[in-house]
Structure 1
Amino acid sequence: MAENVAERGSEERIGMNAGLGDPWVLGISGGFVIAFLALSAYDVNLLSELVSGGFTWTAKYLGSFFQAILLLTFFIAIGVAISPAASAKMGNLDQPEMSTFKWVSIILCTLLAGGGVFFAAGEPVYHFVAQSPPAFGAETGTAAAVQAALAQSFTHWGFLAWAILGSLTSLVLVHAHYTHGKPLQPRTLLFPVFGERVMRGAFGGIVDAVCVIAVVAGTVGPIGFLATQVAYGMEVLFGIEDSYGSQLAVLVVLGGIYVTSALTGIHRGIQFLSRMNVFLALFIAAVIFVFGPTLFLLNSYLQGFGTYVSSFLETSTMTAQTAPDWWMKWWTVFFFAWFLGYGPLMALFVARISRGRTIREMIVAVAIAAPVATTVWFTLLGGSGIYYQMQGVIDLKEALTNFQFDVATLTVAQALPLGLVMAVLILILTTIFVATTGDSMSYTISMVASGHDQPARSVRAFWGITMAVMAAILLYMGAGQVSALQQFIVITAIPVSLVLLPSLYLGPKAAYDMAREQRIVS
C-alpha cells in the first residue's frame, strides 16, 4: 500500500520540463502528422488515392497474415492462462494497485471505445438489412439473418480483437519492465530478439514511432467521427445546426475532458472517467433489456453467440477466395488490422495498470471477459436496432448502405423506450467512451515518447491536444480526410505486426520466467 501511495504521489511530482522524449519518436510521428495535414491541404484526391491504394494492397496480400497472428495470439494466450505459470503475479507486487472493478472498467472503456461508439448499433443492423455476411449465406431481412448479423459482429469485436490488445504482449512488457528495468515502450517487445541494439538510437526510435503513428491514426478517427455524431445528434434532438462550428465545440469539450483526465493520471482521472462510463453503460443496458424487446434480445444473443462459437474458425479465417474482395477489405481485414495497429500501445497500457494481478487474471479479463461483455453490448444496441427494423419502427437500409453509422446510433436510440432521454444518454456515453480512449492513449503515447511509465504532464497534454487539433483540421477539410486517416492504420499494421510477431513465443516464455522467479514452477 505504501508503494502504491508513493507511486500516486510521484505521478504528480514528475517535472513539467521533462521534454517530449526521444527525438526519433517525436520527429517521425510529428513529421507524419504534419505531412498528412499538408498533403490533405495540397491535394485531397491524391491523398485519398495513395491511402486507398495502400489500403487495398495491404488487405489483399496481407489479410491472411493478420488473421493468423490474431488466431495464434488468442489460442496461445488461452494455453498460458490454463498453464501452471498463470498463477504468477505480475509487476513484483503481491496485491493489485486497484480494485478489480476499477481495473476491468479501465480495460473495457479504453479498448471498447471504437465499437461502443460507432459500430455497436450500426454493424449488426447493416449485416441484417444491407449485406448478409458471406460466411452464412442468409437472406437479408429474414429470421436467419439475425443470428448471422450478430455472429459476424462478434467475430469482428470478439475474442481475437481483444486478445491482440493485451495478452501475450503485456506479459513480455511486464517481465522486461518490472524485472529487467526496460522502459514501457514498443521497442521492448523486440529486446529479447535484438538485445540492446533496439533499445537506443534510430532502430528503437523507428519502432516506437511507427506504433505511435498507428495509434494516432486509429484514435483521431473516433475523435473526429464523434464530433460529427454528436453535432448531428444535437441538430436532430435540439435543433442546433449541424455545422463545423458545432463540431468544433464538441471537439473542444471532448479534448478538455480527456486531456484533463490524462493530466490527473491513471489513479484519478482515467480511473474515475472509466468507472463513471461503466455505471452509465450498465444503466442504459438495464433499461434496454428490461423495457425493450427483452425476449427477442435474449433469444438473439444465445443464437448469435452460439453461431459465433460454432463458426469461429470459419469466419476468422475467411479469405478473398471465399468472400468478395470488398467484404474482406472493408470489414474483417480492416478491423483485424485496426486492432493490430493498436496492439503494442494497448499492451503497454494493460501492463501499466495490471501490476499485482496474476497472469491468469489478466488474460481472462482481456481475452475472455471483455469480449463477452462486448458481445452483450452489441446485442443490446444492434439487436434492438434489428428488432425495430423488422417491426417497421425505423428504416436504416439506405443510411447503412451508405455507411452512415452515426445516423444508425441515434436512430436506434430514439426508438428505444424513453427515446429522447435514451438518445441523450447514449450521446453522453459515446462521448465518454471516446474520452477514455483519448486519455489512455495520450498517457500511453507519452510513456513511449518519454521512456517513463509516469510521463510528465506537459508531455501528456501535448499529445492529447495534438490529436484533438488534428481531428479539427481534418474535419475542416472534410470528413473524407478523417476516413482516410482511419484507413491508414491498416497500412501501419504491416510494420506493427512484425513488432508483435515475436510475442507468440516470448509471451509464454515471459510467463514461465516469472513463474520460475516466484518458485511456482521449477
Structure 2
Amino acid sequence: MNRKLIDWPTFIASFVLLLAVVIPLVIYPEAGEAFVNRLNDFVAGNFGFLYLIMGLGIFFFLIFVAFSQNGHVKLGEKDEKPEFGTASWAGMLFSAGIGSSILYWATIEWAYYYQGPPFGIDPSEAQIETIQWASTYGIFHWGPIAWAIYTLPAIPMAYFFYVRKTPVIKISETLRPILGNTSDSIIGKVIDVLFIFGLLGGAGTTLALGTPLITAGVSDITGLEDTMLLRTIILLGVTVIFGISSYLGLKEGIKRLSDFNLALAVFLLVFVFITGPTLFISEATTNSIGLILDNFFHMSTWTEPLANISNFEETGFPEAWTVFYWAWWLVYAPFVGLFIARISRGRTIRQVIVGTIVYGSLGCLLFFGIMGNFGLYLQLTGAYDVVSVLNDQGAPIAIISIINQLPLAKLMVIIFVILSIVFLATTFDSSSYILASVTQKEVDDGEPERWNRLFWAFTLCILPLTLMFLGGLSTLQTASIVGGFPLIFIMFMLAISFMKASTGDLKAEDKFRPKTVVLDYRRIRERLRRRRLKLKERDEEKNQRDE
C-alpha cells in the first residue's frame, strides 16, 4: 500500500463534503428535503434552458471534432492496436453509462408519458399522439445527446493520458491548458471534489432505482416480503460482487463482468422480441425513430415558454424529464468520460466519439424499443393494466409484473433480476475504479491502488444505505443534480481545453515535420510544366516549317 500516491486533500475533502450533506439530512430529514427540493425547483425552473443548450451544443461540437483533423489523432502510439476488442469495449462503456437504470426506465418510462404526454397534449383527446410520444420520448432521452454528454469529458482526458502521457486522470489536469498552474491550486481541488460529489450522488440515483427493482424481483421469485432487511441483504450482496470485480482490476474483473452482462442482455432482448408482439415492437420502434428525426430540434429545445404567462397552464414536462435527464447525464459525465477514456487506448478520437454515441444510443434504442413497447402493447390491448399497477403499487412491482406476462415467466424474472444485479455491479465497480483514480496523484500502469478501490466501493454502498434506512436517498439524488450545475460551465471549459491542446500539438507537429515530400512534389510539378512548354514550342516550330 503506497500512501504517497494518494492525493489526500482531494480524498479527504470529497469524503467530508459528502458527510456535510448527509449528516444534516440524517438529523433534519424533512427540513433538508424541503430545502433541497426548493433549490432544485429554482435551478430547473430558471436555468433549465442552459441544460438544453448545453446538450445540443455538445452534440454538434463532437460531430465537428470527429470529422476534423483532430479526430484522426490516435490515443496512444501511431501503430498501436486497441487495448480491447470492439464488443468488449462497447459492452463496458454501455454498462458503465447506464447501469440497472436502463432496465428500470426502458420497461416503465412510457407509462409516465402515456399519462402525461409532452407539448401540452391532452391524453383523453389525442390518444394516437399520446401513444406515439409515449413510445418515443424515452428513446430520445437516452439517445445521441445523452451519449454525447458522456463522450465530451472522455476526449480530453484520453488525449492527455495517452497522447501527452500525463500520469494523472483528473478533471483539473485536463483543464490545465486553460487554468495553467491554477490546476494545482485550490480551484483545481474544488473542481475535482465537485466531480466526486456528483458521482456519489449520481450513483445514489442508480442505487435508488436498482435496489427496489431487484428486491421486487427476488420477492416475486421467492415469495419473501419486500422489507428493508431484504433490501439491505441484496445491497450488501451487490457490494461484494462489485467490490471483488473492482479489486481484480479492469481486465480480470470489470471486463469479464461486462462481457457476461452484454451476453445476458442480448438474450433477454431477443427472447422478448421473438415471443412478444414482434410486429408491433418493430413498427412502433421504427415510427419512434422517424418522430425523433422529424422533431429532434423541437424536442431538444422545448422549454414551455408560455408557462410563464398566467393564462397558460404549465405542465412541467421539460423540467421533470428533459432537464432532469440532461442534469443526470451531466453529473455522471465526468465519471463515464473517465472510464471511456481509460478503456479507449489504441483508438482514434473519431472512433471514440462515433463509437460511443452510436453503440450507446443503439443499445438504449433496443432496450426502450423492445422492453418499452412490449409493456405498451400489454396496456393498449388490455392484456394487462400496467398503468393501474404503476399508480397503485409503484414502478418496481409494475416492471416485474410486465416480465411476468412473458412465456416462462419465472425463468425470465430470474434472468431479469440477475441482469439487474450485474448491471448495478458493473456501474459501481467502474465508479469505484474511477474514484480511486481521481484521488491519486499518479496511476501506475493505469491501475489505481487496490485498497483505494475497495474504500470507494464500500463508500458507494454504506452512505446510500444509511439514507435508504432514513428515507432520504431521493434527497441526495436531487442534491447531487443541483450540485452538478457548475459542471455545465466545466463541460464548456473541457471542450475549449481539448481544442487548444490538440490543435496546438497538431500545428507543432506540422512545423517540425520534414518538408521533403512537399518539395519533391513541387519539383515534379515544375518539371512537368516545363516539359509541356517544350513540347508546345516544338509543335509550333514544326507547324511553321510545314507552312
What's the TM-score, normalizing by structure 2? 0.87
Given the superposition, is the C-alpha separation of residues 291 and 19 from structure 1 closer, same or farther in structure 2, using an over 3 Å criterion? Answer: farther
How big is each residue's C-alpha offset from its partner over 1:429-480, in whole Å with a ceiling of 9 and x where there is no partner? 11111111101010001110113242100000000101111122111112xx
Q: Tell me which of 21, 31, 37 is aligned to 1:46.
A: 31
Given the superposition, is the C-alpha separation of residues 238 and 62 from structure 1 closer, same or farther in structure 2, using an over 3 Å criterion? Answer: same
Query: Share of identical aligned residues, percent?
Result: 26
| Alignment-derived partner of residue 177 in structure 2 | 192
The 1-side partners of 2:125 and 2:389 are apart by 16
| Alignment-derived partner of residue 541 in structure 2 | none
What is the CA distance between 1:419 and its match in structure 2?
1.6
| Alignment-derived partner of residue 97 in structure 1 | 83
| Alignment-derived partner of residue 231 in structure 2 | 247
| Alignment-derived partner of residue 60 in structure 1 | 45
1:406 maps onto 2:391 in alignment: no
Instruction: Give the match's secondary structure for 2:83.
Output: coil
What is the CA distance between 1:257 and its match in structure 2?
0.7
Equivalent AA in structure 1 for residue 148 of structure 2:
A
The 1-side partners of 2:293 and 2:100 are apart by 23
The 2-side partners of 1:203 and 1:233 are apart by 45
The 2-side partners of 1:286 and 1:95 are apart by 32
Equivalent AA in structure 1 for residue 118 of structure 2:
P
For structure 1, which segment, 289-298 or 228-237, has the greater mean C-alpha deviation from structure 2 after superposition?
228-237
What is the CA distance between 1:36 and its match in structure 2?
2.9
1:289 maps onto 2:273 in alignment: yes
Instruction: Give the match's secondary structure for 1:117.
Output: helix
Tell me if structure 2 keeps the 8 A contact 1:105–1:275. Answer: yes
What is the CA distance between 1:325 and its match in structure 2?
5.7
The 2-side partners of 1:190 and 1:85 are apart by 18
Instruction: Give the match's secondary structure for 1:502.
Output: helix
Alignment of 1:337-356 (within 5 A): 337-356=327-346
How big is each residue's C-alpha offset from its partner over 1:416-436, in whole Å with a ceiling of 9 and x where there is no partner? 222221111111111111111
| Alignment-derived partner of residue 459 in structure 2 | 466
| Alignment-derived partner of residue 17 in structure 2 | 32
Given the superposition, is the C-alpha separation of residues 360 and 20 from structure 1 closer, same or farther in structure 2, using an over 3 Å criterion? Answer: same
Aligned residues: 502
Instruction: Give the match's secondary structure for 1:59.
Output: helix
What is the CA distance between 1:98 and its match in structure 2?
1.1
The 2-side partners of 1:136 and 1:192 are apart by 48
The 2-side partners of 1:289 and 1:193 are apart by 49
Tell me if structure 2 keeps the 8 A contact 1:88–1:514. Answer: no
1:475 maps onto 2:461 in alignment: no
Equivalent AA in structure 2 for residue 89 of structure 1:
K
Alignment of 1:321-400 (within 5 A): 321=305, 324=314, 326-400=316-390
Alignment of 1:107-506 (within 5 A): 107-113=93-99, 115-128=101-114, 130-134=115-119, 139=124, 142-166=127-151, 168-182=152-166, 183-198=168-183, 200-321=184-305, 324=314, 326-401=316-391, 404-451=394-441, 452=443, 453-478=446-471, 481-506=472-497
Tell me if structure 1 keeps the 8 A contact 2:83–2:343. Answer: yes
What is the CA distance between 1:497 and its match in structure 2?
1.6
Instruction: Give the match's secondary structure for 1:501.
Output: helix
Given the superposition, is the C-alpha separation of residues 71 and 406 from structure 1 closer, same or farther in structure 2, using an over 3 Å criterion? Answer: same
Tell me if structure 2 keeps the 8 A contact 1:138–1:148. Answer: no
The alignment's C-alpha RMSD in Å is: 2.3
User: Bigger radius of gyration, 1 or 2?
Assistant: 2
Tell me if structure 2 keeps the 8 A contact 1:92–1:355. Answer: no
Given the superposition, is the C-alpha separation of residues 279 and 81 from structure 1 closer, same or farther in structure 2, using an over 3 Å criterion? Answer: same
The 1-side partners of 2:481 and 2:424 are apart by 20
What is the CA distance between 1:367 and its match in structure 2?
1.6
Q: Tell me which of 27, 41, 57 is aligned to 1:72.
A: 57
Alignment of 1:4-15 (within 5 A): none
Equivalent AA in structure 1 for residue 465 of structure 2:
A
The 2-side partners of 1:320 and 1:415 are apart by 38
The 2-side partners of 1:439 and 1:103 are apart by 16
What is the CA distance between 1:85 and its match in structure 2?
3.4
What's the TM-score, normalizing by structure 1? 0.91
What is the CA distance between 1:214 and its match in structure 2?
0.3
